[in-house]
Amino acid sequence: MRPEQWETFKRAARGEKMDEIPMAMIVDSPWIPGYYGLKHMDYYLDPELWFQTNLKLHEEFPDIIFIPSWWMEYGMAAEPSALGSKIKFWQDNTPSEYHTLYHLEDIDKMPEYEVENDAFMAMTLHRIRMHQQRILDAGYITPIVTSRGPLCTAGFVRGTTEFMIDIVENPVWAHKLIDLCTNLIIDWLNAQQKAMGDCVEGLFILDDIVGFVNEEHYKEFAHPYLKRICDAFPKDFIKIYHNDASIEACLEHLPDTGFNVLNWGKQTEIADVKERIGDRMVLMGNVNPLEIAVRGDAEEVFDATLEVLEDSEGENIILSVGGGTSPGMPKENFQAMLDALNEYNESK
C-alpha cells in the first residue's frame, strides 16, 4: 500500500469519523497466482516474478488498500515449518502442511526454534530484506507484520482433529503447545519488524481454529494467548484479527484482546456483529467471499456490497469481503465493490 493509504487505514481502524469509507482486501498466494495465470511454484520461488506481480497488482487496483501490503509468504508454511511440520508444495495450489507431532508429550523433546534460521521463516525474512528497499523506492510501504495465530499454528503442528481432542482430553499439554506457538508467533512478528524497519506500525493475526471451539474453551485456550500477542507490541499499533470461521463463541470477548479490527466471515451478519460489540472494534467486511464475490456477477456483487454498507450505518466499517480474497474472484467484481462503495460514499 502507499503511505497515504496506510494513514487512511489507521484512521479508520481507530474508529475515527471518516468522510469516506475505505476499501481494503486481504490478498495473498491463494488468489494472486491464479489471477495472473502463474504457477504457484514460480510465484514462490522466482523473486523477480514475485516483485513484478505485486507491483502490477498495486498498479492495477490503485484505489484498494491491500492488507497486509506486499505480503511475502509461502502460503501457511512458515509458522508450522519452524516447529517441524512437513510442507508439501504444488504447481497449481498453495502449500499444504502435514503434522509431525504424533505424541503431544514430545513437545519437551523438540529442539528450540530459531526464527532467523528455521525453514520457511528464514526464507521469508531473506526475501523481505531482498525486496524491502525496492518496495520503498517504488512508493509503497509494508507497515504490517503478519502471522497465523496460536491455535491455527498448534493445529498445523499437531493435526487439527488431534488438537481439538487434546483440548478436551489433555488440556495441560494442549496449553504447553499453545504457549510454545504463542512465543514463536511473537518472535516471528518481531523478526519481520526488524527486517522491514521503521515503517511497521501494525500486526495482522489469522486464526480460524478459534472458530472451532465453544465459549468456555475460547476463554481458556485462545483469549489469553491472543491477548499476550497484542500486549507484546505497542499500544498504538493497529492490530487486525482475521477469523472467517464462526465468531459466535468469541465475539463479545475479542475487543478485550487488544485487536482494533475484526475481519470475519459470512456466517454472522454485520448488523448482528455491530449490535453485539458496538464500537469496541472496527469491522472489516463482510461481502460473501465465495458465493457472491467469486461466483456472483457484477450486479450481485454491487447489490451485496450496498447491503453491507447500509447495514453498517456507515460507521466503524472498512469495506472488504468476509475473509481473504478467494481464488477466482474476477476484476469486474472488485470493480463492482468499488462502484457500490463510491455510490454509497457520495450519498453520505
Sequence-ordered list of residues with C-beta below 8 angstroms from that of 259, at least 6 positions apart, any chain: 205, 226, 230, 239, 240, 241, 281
Which domain covers residue 212, as residue numbers? 3-347
Indicate which CATH number applies to the domain containing 129.
3.20.20.210
Q: Do residues 241 and 254 touch, judged by C-beta distance below 8 A?
A: yes
CA atoms within a 13 Å half-sphere pointing along the CA-CB vector of 2: 11
Contact 8, 22 (CB under 8 A): yes
Q: Indicate the pTM of the whole model.
A: 0.97
d(CA 117, CA 29): 23
Residue-wise pLDDT for 38-53, tens only, equals 999 999 999 999 999 9
User: Measured in whole angstroms, how far is the alpha carbon of residue 325 from the centre of its chain?
Assistant: 10
* 49-78: b (≥16 Cβ within 10 Å) or e: bbbebbbebbeebeebbbbbbbbbbbbbbb
Give the model confidence (pLDDT) of 247-287 as tens digits.
999 999 999 999 999 999 999 999 999 999 999 999 999 99
pLDDT tens digits along 182-215: 999 999 999 999 999 999 999 999 999 999 999 9
pLDDT tens-digit profile of 91-111? 999 999 999 999 999 999 999
Whole-number pLDDT of residue 61: 97
pLDDT tens column, 14-34: 999 999 999 999 999 999 999
Please say if the pLDDT value at position 238 is more than 90: yes
Question: How far, in Å, CA of 271 to CA of 151, rounded?
Answer: 28
Q: Are 247 and 274 in contact (CB under 8 A)?
A: no
Q: In whole angstroms, what is the distance from residue 117 CA to residue 111 CA?
A: 13
Which residues touch 24 (CB under 8 Å, ≥6 apart)?
A: 9, 64, 65, 66, 67, 284, 318, 319, 320
Q: How many domains does the chain have?
A: 1
